[in-house]
Structure 1
């Protein structure tokens, strides 16, 4: 039996509590089993829940109630109005989830959305989940962000920096490192024996032989040569305006992109509802829904007029479970 997935609190004023309740309602009979590290008061008794002492108790209660490891919010929670006084609960939820996975009590982490600016106002020094998780796992700099859906997997080489900074920081070495991490994750966590990786160009028409930019020749091309010399199946650099078409996508298992929006725009256009954020390069499994806190539609759990769609969270929980099974050789 697979260990359960740890679902974090997220920002309590966002849609995280509603998502936790909706996900349990959808998965209670089929699984995968998960438990929520959150404040039970936020559930408003809208669904049955049971406080548990640890992940090992989740499986026994999951079909009848949402298993909850309590993490108390310090300030009253008003849906749609985030409060930095609750940042400590958000952070504690993430830290405890990591400890559960490191101890083997949980199979992986699925993180509910956080508000980065709220955490920053409380002294949180990390740009987001990805970097914080890497620090908790003592592998800073090795973290790589993948966005995955049934239609496309994309991996940006540079992430949460301005476009100008992304271009300035793009190096052959970074492209090689990100591609190697992607190759390893596709093998170990997705069960793809020989991954096919498409490398995007940076400039229009992939530089048009230097007429529209030289980075393809001076930075990206050398990275592809190194990767091929190490036995990887890599292709490119491809013009970014054509490599995500319906006819091109079946030719590769993941696209390595040069900057954040080059990767995320096609993924979210194709499948916003079931897109999943995956952090690879960590010793633990972490997934997340590919959307934010949605303060504008947040409300109390159990309301009849909720607009919250749990599709992305459901996909994230299922993917975390699938990845953990592949990692331990159980391909069910």
Structure 2
């Protein structure tokens, strides 16, 4: 359900209304059934009942909140329910009772204020359902897939933490996920350089020579189709994108700026390195517009559709 004071319930209701008409992938909402106003709701007892209910009502596995949510107003009293919603979703996916988990955005500040030890959704999900040494975040759209090697940290810290080993580990987890879940037999990985023009042969920093190039060489030694370090200012052009299946980027904005520029509404957050399929819309809780009926469900719809496609390639 995500953050109850945000737009999670609104986009879920709009997604249900759209998918029941198409039809599209059915889903069940894990959360409080009472947050939906003016939407037909089916309070089901098991996820297996969702398919029959979906054409006429939004299926909900009801889990009451401690406090009635107010749009845009955060309430720590509901933090435990948010965490439980994630745990229950993962448990259902691990048991094979649902094909995937699609998470609405959470407000991390509310959870950490109550003692939640994880930096965010991704790390918590990896603690619940690990299959790789660490989770890897992919942003995927029809135009582009990107994976940042470092994510939510200051740029100086991210650069200081870069090593050939970290790049190789990230790329290998990504490669394996592209084969297993995306059905790409021989993924093509484009590895971004760190400095302008990928360092210009060392004249603009030696990181690309000493950190990125050895990582690319190791990936190639492992039989992975990897190229780089590539100049970041040209690797995302219309001519360059068809030559890669994913761009491995070295820090957050290097990855997220191009994909959000190309397809802000269709971008989907996919967590790699889990034993389950997990996707998420590529936006936040949008507290500023919560309760106003303005939320766009496009990214959640894209996340649901991609989750269905990925789940179809796994057997449960």
**2: CA distance between counterparts of 1:140 and 1:72?**
34
**2: CA distance between counterparts of 1:82 and 1:271?**
29
**2: CA distance between counterparts of 1:62 and 1:32?**
10
In the alignment of these two chains, the number of paired residues is: 315
Post-superposition offset of 1:141: 4.4
Give the 5 Å matches for 1:217-256. 217-256=209-248
Unaligned runs of 5+ in 2: none
Counterpart for residue 29 of structure 2: 36
Pairing 1:327–2:314 present: yes
Pairing 1:103–2:90 present: no
Give the 5 Å matches for 1:248-267. 248-267=240-259
**1: CA distance between counterparts of 2:252 and 2:148?**
5
Post-superposition offset of 1:204: 1.0
Q: Secondary structure at the match of 2:288?
A: helix
Counterpart for residue 3 of structure 2: 11
Q: Secondary structure at the match of 2:253?
A: helix
Query: Pick from 42, 56, 60: which aligns with 1:68?
Result: 60
Post-superposition offset of 1:215: 1.1
Give the 5 Å matches for 1:89-128. 89-128=81-120
Answer yes or no: is the 8 Å Cα contact 2:132–2:274 preserved in 1.
no
Tell me the TM-score normalized by structure 2.
0.97
Pairing 1:189–2:176 present: no
Post-superposition offset of 1:191: 1.1
Q: Secondary structure at the match of 2:313?
A: helix
Answer yes or no: is the 8 Å Cα contact 1:277–1:288 preserved in 2.
yes
Question: What do you get for the CA RMSD once the two structures are aligned?
Answer: 1.3
| Deviating 4+ runs (over 4 angstroms) | 138-141
**1: CA distance between counterparts of 2:132 and 2:286?**
29
**2: CA distance between counterparts of 1:25 and 1:138?**
33
**1: CA distance between counterparts of 2:173 and 2:132?**
14
Q: Secondary structure at the match of 1:327?
A: coil
Answer yes or no: is the 8 Å Cα contact 2:101–2:307 preserved in 1.
yes
Answer yes or no: is the 8 Å Cα contact 1:275–1:312 preserved in 2.
yes
Post-superposition offset of 1:76: 2.0
Counterpart for residue 200 of structure 2: 208
Answer yes or no: is the 8 Å Cα contact 1:147–1:264 preserved in 2.
yes
Give the 5 Å matches for 1:115-154. 115-138=107-130, 141-154=133-146
Pairing 1:285–2:277 present: yes
Query: Pick from 304, 308, 313: which aligns with 2:295?
Result: 308
Counterpart for residue 80 of structure 1: 72
Tell me the TM-score normalized by structure 1.
0.93
Post-superposition offset of 1:208: 0.6
**2: CA distance between counterparts of 1:140 and 1:39?**
33
